[in-house]
Amino acid sequence: MFFTPLSAAALAVSGALASTIGFKRDLCGLVDSDLNLDVGLVTVDFGHIGPICLCISALPDFLSTNAVVGIPIQIFGDAEVEAALGALIGGSPVCNASPSTRKRDTYVFNDKMCPKGLSLCGVQSSWSNTNWECIDTKTDLESCGGCVMGVMGTPSSGVDCTAIEGVEDVACDGGKCQVFSCAPGYRVSDCGTTCVRTSHHT
């Protein structure tokens, strides 16, 4: 059986329909990846998941029936394994699941999909506008202070520190860009968060 990614237009139409009839969107991804989890300082591959069209709403059933997740659940518990599977779904091409494999339109995108302290942010993708990843927006250079790219209605309020005009050396500290040095023709602003042009170049 083959699954095809939903087009952006199809997602928009189905999203509008869902909001009209009072449902919330589920998320399904064509997962074909290894399940890797950190045990201490070592990343362990617990086995391969897929290829399978797996949905967020179906994860509780998947955790209770799939052999690959048995040992990770014993070590980490359901919540952490479910979060790892959610990350695999979010990073996979969107797929259509049959009604028997998911509860239709039951999922809402929010930070609860990510481990504590991380935010749900969108990922630039040619497949769809529903791919996502978990980011520490307090320290991430390209999503500082919030997500630069939202996902299916989640806010995009962050700053890409590396895109600051004239910046050379910059960090994200506590959710704010901290500029340390600027390119020739610029200086660090008084507030230390941007570069200010000091001369014009032709």
Is the confidence at residue 193, as pLDDT, over 90? yes
Is the confidence at residue 23, as pLDDT, over 80? no
Q: Is the pTM of this model over 0.85?
A: no
Is the confidence at residue 180, as pLDDT, over 80? yes
Q: What is the mean pLDDT of residues 96-103?
A: 47
Cis amide leading into 51 (omega within 30): yes
What are the Cα distances from residue 44, in Å, to 37, 39, 86? 5, 7, 18
Q: Where are the beta strands (DSSP E) in the chain?
A: 28-39, 42-55, 119-122, 132-135, 167-173, 176-182, 186-188, 195-197
pLDDT digits 0-9 by tens, 34-72:
999 988 888 999 988 887 888 888 888 888 888 888 889
Please provide the average confidence, as pLDDT, over all residues in the chain: 76
Which letter, b or e, does each residue of 175-186 get, where b requires 16 or more Cβ atoms within 10 Å of its Cβ? bebebeebeeeb
